[in-house]
Amino acid sequence: MKNIVRGFIRRESSSGIILVFVTLLAIIIKNSPLSHFYNEILYITVEFHFGELLHIKKPFLLWINDGLMTIFFLFIGLEIKREILVGQLSSVSRMALPGFAALGGMIFPGLLFVFFNIGDDFALRGWAIPIATDIAFALGILSLLGKRVPVSLKIFLMALAIIDDIGAILIIAVFYTHEISLFALFLTTAFFIVLLLMNKLNVTKITGYILVGVLLWISVLESGIHATLAGIILAFTIPLNVKKSNNKLTSPAKILQKNLHFWVAYFILPIFAFVNAGIDLTGFSMENILHPVSLGVISGLVVGKQFGVMLFSFLAVYFKFAKLPRCTTWTQIYGVSLLTGIGFTMSFFIDLLAYDNSNIFMYSDRVSILIGSVISGVIGYLVLRKAKRKKYCSL
């Protein structure tokens, strides 16, 4: 199990470094003479026809955000399922501390955002922007510290971020769903039942699940529910362990997750970051930073995250609902609480859903995500670098 976790952390760490590079590249291109070509690529119309039955017409940007990101959510769903069934979330004792920490880290950022934007109904749609944690960036920074931090702290951060993702997924499903098409919802339910039957019958062919998953994605897309949630639904129907006729176990979920990891870390997330992080800084000023939406996002990520994670972690330990991870100190937990303020990809994604890719805030919402994430990451790194390791404890 430890080897699996270490491998996961290594891949997420290198992915975080690539995301930093791609983000900077997008901002540079957007503010250069090449910005015209950048915009043209984003809004190239791509159509898909299947006779009279189906016609999907979207700009390239939305094919990335609704299509490729569905694969990302499929991967996240597979990770969540594995952790719940056999991993760090498989028992109440293991789940307690990261669960409490994640809950606090979602409540207080949302409250701070509401505090700054109360009275503006449109702005309040973005209340969930600062609640998310970018696991790739957070683990990437933690990996820079090497043996200064115990593996148990990295596992704690990973479990916290996964629970955070569960919360973000539920919020997207409940609060960012538009008008519902009952016919498409009926088809979604039908395809979901087919997938459940395949699971019950111990079908191990991943291709079969993917084919039904594509039909599920189309029906979810047409239903009004955000299309990426099809990835989560599909993930939870793919079997984790199936006993074959020769009594050997096979795991379609683990095989698919392993095959997807490279593409998610090094292809899908970098493309998502590149097409969404291109922020036009022309005319940008302190007025944008002082806008209530920006203040809500930055304070939520930098202050709300660390306060919520620390408060709920302390209460969980104090009332003996949970214990600190092995070989960790409260200073290290505080450093991790700062790293949870790195929102980035998930915050960008929720921002797009909240404001429908609108420029009404002159990109101050996206800039504030970057600012809040950078501040959280830098301070978190410095705190963990200075934190003393627990004495007489083998890592």
Mean pLDDT, range 24-41, rounded to an integer: 88
Please check whether residue 166 is in contact with residue 80, taking contact to mean a CB–CB distance below 8 angstroms: yes
pLDDT of residue 166: 83
More confident residue, 263 or 4: 263
d(CA 96, CA 165) in angstroms, rounded, equals: 16
Mean pLDDT, range 69-76, rounded to an integer: 88
pLDDT of residue 143: 73
d(CA 367, CA 347) in angstroms, rounded, equals: 11
Domain parsing of the chain, residue ranges:
2-386
d(CA 390, CA 395) in angstroms, rounded, equals: 10
Mean pLDDT, range 332-358, rounded to an integer: 87
d(CA 314, CA 107) in angstroms, rounded, equals: 16
d(CA 196, CA 199) in angstroms, rounded, equals: 5
Res. 50: pLDDT tops 70: no
Amino acid at 253: A
More confident residue, 100 or 183: 100
Most confident of 107-116, 145-154, 317-326: 107-116
Mean pLDDT, range 208-225, rounded to an integer: 89
pLDDT of residue 1: 47
Res. 394: pLDDT tops 60: no
Average pLDDT, the chain: 84
Res. 307: pLDDT tops 80: yes
pLDDT of residue 12: 56
pLDDT of residue 357: 64
Mean pLDDT, range 247-254, rounded to an integer: 84
pLDDT band of 318, cuts 50, 70, 90 = very high
Say which range, 64-78, 109-123, 130-144, 306-320, has the weakest mean pLDDT.
Answer: 130-144
Alpha-carbon distances of 18 from 73, 266, 331, 361, 382, rounded to whole Å: 19, 7, 29, 28, 21
pLDDT of residue 20: 80
pLDDT of residue 208: 93
Mean pLDDT, range 62-82, rounded to an integer: 86
pLDDT of residue 214: 92
pLDDT band of 388, cuts 50, 70, 90 = confident
Res. 135: pLDDT tops 70: yes
Phi-psi region of 393 (alpha: psi -120 to 50; beta: other; left: phi over 0): beta
Mean pLDDT, range 11-19, rounded to an integer: 68
pLDDT of residue 161: 85
Say which range, 146-150, 198-202, 328-332, 376-380, has the weakest mean pLDDT.
Answer: 146-150
pLDDT of residue 63: 84
Mean pLDDT, range 124-130, rounded to an integer: 92
Res. 222: pLDDT tops 90: no
Mean pLDDT, range 70-87, rounded to an integer: 85
CATH topology of domain 2-386: Na+/H+ antiporter like fold (1.20.1530)
More confident residue, 167 or 180: 167
Q: What is the 3-state secondary structure (H, E, C) of the chain?
A: CHHHHHHHHHHHHHHHHHHHHHHHHHHHHHCCCCHHHHHHHHCCEEEEEECECEEEEEEHHHHHHHHHHHHHHHHHHHHHHHHHHHCCCCCHHHHHHHHHHHHHHHHHHHHHHHHHHCCCHHHHCCCCHHHCCCHHHHHHHHHCCHHHCCHHHHHHHHHHHHHHHHHHHHHHHHHCCCCCCHHHHHHHHHHHHHHHHHHHCCCCCHHHHHHHHHHHHHHHHHHCCCCCHHHHHHHCCCCCCEECCCCCEECHHHHHHHHHHHHHHHHHHHHHHHHHCCCCCCCCCHHHHCCHHHHHHHHHHHHHHHHHHHHHHHHHHHCCCCCCCCCCCHHHHHHHHHHCCCCHHHHHHHHHHHHCCCCCCCCHHHHHHHHHHHHHHHHHHHHHHHCCCCCCCCC
pTM of the model: 0.80
Mean pLDDT, range 293-314, rounded to an integer: 96
pLDDT of residue 42: 83
- Percent of the chain whose pLDDT exceeds 70: 90
Res. 294: pLDDT tops 90: yes
